[in-house]
Structure 1
Amino acid sequence: MTEPQTQPIYAIIPAAGVGSRMQADKPKQYLQLHGKTILEHTVEKLLAHPAVSRVIVAISEHDPYFPTLSLSSNPDVIRVKGGKERADSVLSALSFLSSEAEENSWVMVHDAARPCVMGADIDKLIAELKGHPVGGILAAPVRDTMKRGDSSHHITETVDRACLWHALTPQMFPVTLLYNALSQALAAGASITDEASAVEWLGLTPKLVAGRSDNLKVTQPEDLALAEFYLSRELNNKEQ
Structure 2
Amino acid sequence: MSKFLALIPAAGSGSRMGNDVPKQYLPLSGKPMIYHTINTLCRNPSIADVLIVLAPRDSEWDKYDWSEFSGKLRVFKCGGDTRAASVLNGLTAAQHALGISPEDWILVHDAARPCLSRSQLDKLIDELADDAVGGLLAVPVADTLKRSNQENRVACTEPREHLWQAQTPQMFRYGLLAQALQNAANTQITDDASAVEAIGLRPKLVASDSYNFKVTYPNDLALAELILQQRNSQ
With the length of structure 1 as denominator, give the TM-score of the two structures: 0.92
1:76 corresponds, among 51, 59, 72, to 72
Count of residues in Structure 1 that have an aligned counterpart in Structure 2: 230
Q: Which moved more, 1:224-233 or 1:122-131?
A: 122-131
Q: Which residue of 1 aligns with 2:19?
A: 24
Q: Measured at CA, do residues 103 and 88 of structure 1 come closer, stay the same or move farther in structure 2, by a change above 3 Å?
A: closer
- The 5 A counterparts of 1:83-98 are 83-98=80-95
CA shift for structure 1 position 21: 0.5
Deviation per CA, 1:105-127, whole angstroms, max 9, x where unpaired? 01000000101001111111111
Residue type of the alignment partner of 1:225 = A
Q: Which moved more, 1:143-152 or 1:220-229?
A: 143-152
Percent identity reads: 45
- RMSD (Å) for aligned C-alpha atoms: 1.3
Aligned to 1:78, the other structure's residue is in SS state strand
Q: Which residue of 2 aligns with 1:66?
A: 61
- The 5 A counterparts of 1:34-53 are 34-53=29-48
CA shift for structure 1 position 103: 4.5
Query: Quick check: 1:9 aligned with 2:8?
Result: no
Deviation per CA, 1:188-221, whole angstroms, max 9, x where unpaired? x221100000000101100000012110111001
CA shift for structure 1 position 75: 4.3
Which portions of structure 1, spanning 4 or more consecutive aligned residues, are displaced by more than 4 angstroms?
A: none
Deviation per CA, 1:110-156, whole angstroms, max 9, x where unpaired? 00010100111111111111321110000001000011112221111
Determine if contact 1:97/1:175 at 8 Å carries over to the other structure: no
CA shift for structure 1 position 96: 2.2
CA shift for structure 1 position 84: 0.9
Aligned-partner Cα distance in 1 for 2:189–2:8? 16
Aligned to 1:235, the other structure's residue is in SS state helix
- The 5 A counterparts of 1:1-240 are 6-71=1-66, 74-80=70-76, 81-99=78-96, 100-186=99-185, 189-237=186-234
Determine if contact 1:139/1:166 at 8 Å carries over to the other structure: yes
Aligned-partner Cα distance in 2 for 1:130–1:93? 22
Residue type of the alignment partner of 2:89 = S
